[in-house]
Amino acid sequence: MKKTAEELEEMFGVTAEQIEEWDEMMVRGEVPGKPVGEVVVGRPLLFGAELKSVGFKETEEKIEAIDRRADSLGMRRSDYLRWLIDKDLAAATVA
């Protein structure tokens, strides 16, 4: 059953006007509310697992292409490469 805009506003307690106002604030770089702590960027820590570095050399052109692709997905290079490896390993266990 499809809900009307009014039903959704009632359900979530937020009006379309409020959402538009919040969007405009975010575009200006203003974040409502009180800060709750330091923003930590990066991969979540893996507790209880020993981590080792993995690295390889690649051409500058390929690294630039990797960075462009990662950026287009909203990822950093390392997150993009981890994501690719996870996808391939998952596919290999299914195949």
pLDDT at 66: 96
CB count, 10 Å around CB of 60?
A: 7
Provide the terminal-to-terminal Cα distance of the chain, rounded to the nearest Å.
Answer: 38
CB count, 10 Å around CB of 9?
A: 16
**pLDDT tens readout for residues 23-72:** 888 888 887 777 777 766 666 677 777 778 889 999 999 999 999 999 99
Domain boundaries, the chain: 58-95
The whole-model pTM stands at 0.50
Q: Distance between CA atoms of 21 and 38, rounded to whole angstroms?
A: 25
